[in-house]
Structure 1
Amino acid sequence: MIRCRPHRGELLRTVLANCSARLLAILGLTLATVLVARTGGPSAVGEYALLRMMPGLIGVLCVLGLPGALAFFLAEPRRELPRLWPTLMAIGFAGALTGTALWVAAAPLIAKVFFPHEPAWLIAVAGATVASQLFLTLGKTALQGLEDRRGGDAVIAAEELAFLPCFVLPLLVGIHGIAAIIIGLGLADLVVAVDAWRRVSRRLGWRRFGLAGNGYGWWGRPDRVLGKQVASYGLRGQVGGLITLLNLRLDVAILGAIAGPAILGGYAVASKYAELLRLPGTALTWVFYPRLAKLEQNQAAGVARRMIRPALVGIVVAAVPVALLASPVMRLLYGASFGSAVTPARVLVAGMILAGASGVASAYLYGRGTPGLNSIVLGVGLAITVVLDVTLIPRYGALGAAAASTAAYLTTDALLIGVLLRLSGTGPRHRTTVAVGEGTS
């Protein structure tokens, strides 16, 4: 039982390092979006946003929540289980094949709904990114499970930065449009994924890229019983992560289906701009969740409650210049054709003001062993998102999507903060057993 309180300076450095990695990722995504916008306009940006989101979502669904289960099963002493890695690899490869097959089969429908001006065969080719994105996601979460925070931060940053040079390559040889986007995404995923798995191999001490004997390497005969345990845990843990992803990206899918890629392109730019304010909250959850889990219940509650106010004030203060700079930033980076994105961006900024404090709340709920409460609250936000999206988007377009997301964000974040304040003030003083890894990304 651990009673020591985490060192404040070390924790701050860890949070800042994670924030910096995520900021670099957003910088890379911004530069890539600018290039896509300058070469293809708002429509190309909309296609880029959809292709960055949809294949990854399908892949995660087809591996039975494996990304959420990795941190738990790679924690000591479970990481020493015989045939663990062959079992994890079997689930990963089976999910990648299933997800790719589903995408290819649904390509005509996907093209008709989301990419009406593109040939179905080209959308089918994009199915290759289901596997490449999944390969990258599993490598990133494996690093998290092995507690390689520096390696995990490097992969987070490289995940978006790598797209820019990989997108330029097809442009240089005369390939443009959505084909260049697909090639760029696939190449970037593979480059970063190979580096992620190289880091995993080095962390495990396997010099020959995962080749180890006695069932302890990556390759071998999977364990069916262990596979069922991994899938059972992963599916339970994936609920919160999937709801979070839908809360953040469902508006993109609905707007793309209803309004088309051109309007979606402007909204995607506005959404990514506003999400700058969500970085500190995400970093706080990522860093503090395992730390709070090691503390006594009353210690964790005290730390979480003390973190609420500075996290809240910091984001509120940062929101003012972010909102004011929306217009010059949008027009300078993306051009006059993206002027319509300014108002949705400002509406979305208003929805982010509680994000820092809610990041603390999520870390506390995970750390006290109650990630289910986090999922329930996120489910409320998802319901609000769905109802308001289908109500407002047909009439108001991108502005309706921004208003719906803002309402969902504020409601979800306020509920999470309220749950934290209630539980941290009245919770029992004994240590709660924690399901490490559940609900993480």
Structure 2
Amino acid sequence: MTATTAQADPRGATRDTARGGLANMAGSALAGGTGVVVTWIVARALGAEQAGAFFAATAAFVLVGGLAKLGTQTGLVYWPARLRSTGQDHLLGACLRAGIPPVAGFSLLLGVAMWLAAPAIARLTAGEAPEVVAGHTAGLRVLAVFVPLQALTDVLLTVTRGYRSMRPTVLLDRVLRSGLQLLAVGAAGVAALWVTASLPVFALAWAAPYLPVAILAAVAARRAYTSGRTRVSTDRGERRRVRREFWVFTAPRAVAAVAQLALQRVDVLLVAALGGLAPAAVYAVAGRFVVLIQFANQGLSQSVQPRLAETLSTGDLAAAKRLYQIATGWLVLVTWPISLLVMALAPWYLRLFGDGYASGVPVVRVLAAAMLVATGCGMVDMVLAMAGRTSLNLGNVLIALTVTIGLDVWLIPRWGALGAAAGLAGAMVVNNLLPLVQVHRSTGLHPFGRGTLTAAFLALLCFGFIQFFPAAIVIAVPAYAAGAWLLRGPLMLGAFRRKS
């Protein structure tokens, strides 16, 4: 679709975004659900101390992988969308060559660095007990082998999204990878019934699915590129310009992406280092629902991202505002009931993982309240980046990271896992309200449209009172479904219908 067509057919863009977002959110729900089950298996099979070591190791793995991607998850969507909308399709190949090879090389270096640093990371997070440190080190080294595959998988799937194709992300990352992780970790959990559970075995089971998914992601990315390739020769000057502009835009996102991941993962490492492995396990289990909501947010924002980049690059602020507000309404409609439910049902939810996790109830409630604020702002961080304000984006994330680390160091020694929850909640509020103000001041965009307010009111009306009467969930769920149907006009749910 050209820029002109996009402006002329905003309903078509909304419908396409809805279809892609629905598929991505469904896949994200599956991935989030399997993640909860994997967490349950690990918590049950390894016990609190080894489970804490496992969660700390996977947090380190995700952080290193995020650094390896060099911020290209944004650049490889923004620039292809911008080049297509401005009639420069012939430069897409130069854009991809600017982004992918550096990630491949840097991820190999970071994988080696993680392997070499594994003993030091293990001593920092697991204490000095030789048996625990040895198992933690082995688990970290298993994960280090898969760092390049993790980084390349995400980057190659980003390429397909830059071509507006959500299917590879849904099928390969959300369905295949998460499904294989569940099967492999489940098999390790069953084996632990007869032999002693081993952290390195669970780490291998969790990471191994990246191998087949990386291969299939490469095939999907190549197919997307060749199908849309324009055979027009480009001179060396144009290619240099593309590389320079790509990295001027992407470089701030490289740091911001790592800081963003640190916001989500460093707290587990800090709880392990400052409070011990058992509190780290409690914190990771109690906060697992946050990952489920983040998956939903990511699934919808990945669908909106290329459309939003095109509308902002052509100056169509009205279409950008419409997309942002409609998508935020859908996000609130999906995620606010989850947050309100886990706040009310936290004591029962945590018992599924074992008696030792009951102390995580306050953690769940603090994080759930913060998620209401974060999702109410929509995918504001992505909107700021797609508007080209990546330097502001970097500053916001660094401020939020400073908040979470400062609060964690201050509160974890006193409150344990609850201190980490307070740190993350403070960071989430800062990291959403700051860009919200900046987006509105620079572009006039905000997420509080009719659909957002309708979804928020409906969620609070149906699920707010179960905080005091949990049994009322049997009424709240059907009432919410009926309310969404009756209010489908303001919520723009008609966009999900098949085109006649």
TM-score by length of 1: 0.81
Amino acid paired to 2:251: L
**Partner of residue 387 from structure 1, selected from 381, 385, 406:** 406
- 1:389-431 C-alpha deviation (Å, 9 max, x unpaired): 111111111011111111221232233333344445499xxxx
Q: Residue type matched to 1:130 in 2?
A: V
Partner of residue 96, structure 1: 107
**Structure-1 residue corresponding to 2:17:** 11
Q: Does 1:144 align with 2:161?
A: yes
Give the Å deviation of 1:63.
5.2
Q: Could you tell me how far apart the structure 2 residues matched to 1:293 and 1:226 are?
A: 17
Give 1:249's aligned residue.
265
- Asked if 1:165 corresponds to 2:186, the answer is no
Mapping of residues 178-327 of structure 1, within 5 Å:
178-205=199-226, 233-295=249-311, 296-301=316-321, 303-305=323-325, 315-327=335-347
Return the offset for 1:150: 1.1
The percentage of aligned residue pairs carrying the same residue is: 24
User: Unpaired segments of 5 or more residues in structure 1?
Assistant: 207-214, 216-222, 428-441
Report if aligned partners of 1:29, 1:161 keep a CA contact under 8 Å in 2. Answer: no
Q: Supply the distance in 1 between the matched residues of 2:323 and 2:410 (Cα, whole angstroms).
A: 41
User: Which residue in the other structure is 1:437 paired with?
Assistant: none
Distance 1:310 1:74 in 2: 26
Name 1:48's counterpart in structure 2.
54
- Cα separation, 2, equivalents of 1:106 and 1:54: 11
- In structure 2, relative to structure 1, the CA distance for the partners of 1:113 and 1:416 (3 Å cut) is same
Quick check: 1:315–1:354 contact (8 Å CA) kept in 2? no
CA RMSD of aligned residues (A): 3.4
Give how far 1:84 is off: 6.8
CA contact (8 A) 1:104 1:124 kept: yes
1:366-403 CA distance string (max 9 Å, x none) = 34333333333333322211211111111111011111
In 2, the alpha carbon distance for the partners of 1:182 and 1:424 equals 45
Aligned-partner Cα distance in 1 for 2:323–2:359: 42
3-state SS of the aligned residue for 1:351?
helix
Q: Cα deviation per residue 1:273-299 (whole Å; 9 max; x = unaligned)?
A: 234344443334322232233331244
1:341/1:59 CA distance change after superposition, 3 Å:
same
> Helix, strand or coil for the counterpart of 2:57?
helix
Q: Deviations over 1:291-314 (max 9, x none)?
A: 233331244235535665675576
Name 1:156's counterpart in structure 2: 173
Greater Cα offset, 381-390 or 7-16: 7-16
Residue pair 2:161, 2:306 contacting (<8 A) in 1 also: no
**Residues 162 and 228 of structure 1, relative CA distance in 2, 3 Å threshold:** farther
Q: Deviations over 1:33-85 (max 9, x none)?
A: 11111211222332232232212322442454444433356555567566776
Q: Which moved more, 1:314-323 or 1:267-276?
A: 314-323
User: Deviation of residue 96 (structure 1)?
Assistant: 2.7
Distance 1:347 1:61 in 2: 28
What is the one-letter code of the residue matched to 2:375?
A: G
Question: In 2, are the aligned partners of 1:305 and 1:424 still within 8 Å (CA)?
Answer: no
Distance 1:284 1:64, change over 3 A: closer
Matched letter for residue 266 of structure 1: V
Supply the distance in 1 between the matched residues of 2:390 and 2:11 (Cα, whole angstroms): 21
Instruction: Rate the CA distance shift 1:199–1:62 in 2: closer, same or farther, 3 A.
Output: closer
Equivalence for 2:30: 24
2-structure distance, mates of 1:79, 1:167: 44
Deviation at 1:152, TM superposition (A): 1.3
Aligned length: 414
Residue matched to 1:218: none
Residue 64 of structure 2, aligned match among 38, 51, 58: 58
Name the structure 1 match of 2:465: none
Closer, same or farther: CA 108–141 of 1 in aligned 2, 3 Å: same
Secondary structure of the residue that 1:325 maps to in structure 2?
helix
In structure 2, runs of 5+ residues without a counterpart are 228-232, 234-238, 447-500
Correspondence 1:406 to 2:425: yes
Instruction: Please give the alpha-carbon distance, in whole angstroms, between the structure 2 residues aligned to 1:337 and 1:371.
Output: 43
Closer, same or farther: CA 284–422 of 1 in aligned 2, 3 Å: farther
Instruction: Say whether 1:118 aligns with 2:118.
Output: no
Q: Distance in 2 between matches of 1:56 and 1:307?
A: 27
User: 1 CA distance for matches of 2:112 and 2:139?
Assistant: 15
Alpha-carbon shift at residue 247 of structure 1 (Å) = 1.6
Q: Which residue of 1 aligns with 2:149?
A: 132
Q: Counterpart in 1 of 2:395? A: 376
User: CA 1:383/1:201 → structure 2, altered by over 3 Å: closer, same or farther?
Assistant: same
SS of aligned partner of 1:235? helix
- Greater share of helix: 2
User: 2:348 is matched with which residue: 316, 321, 328?
Assistant: 328
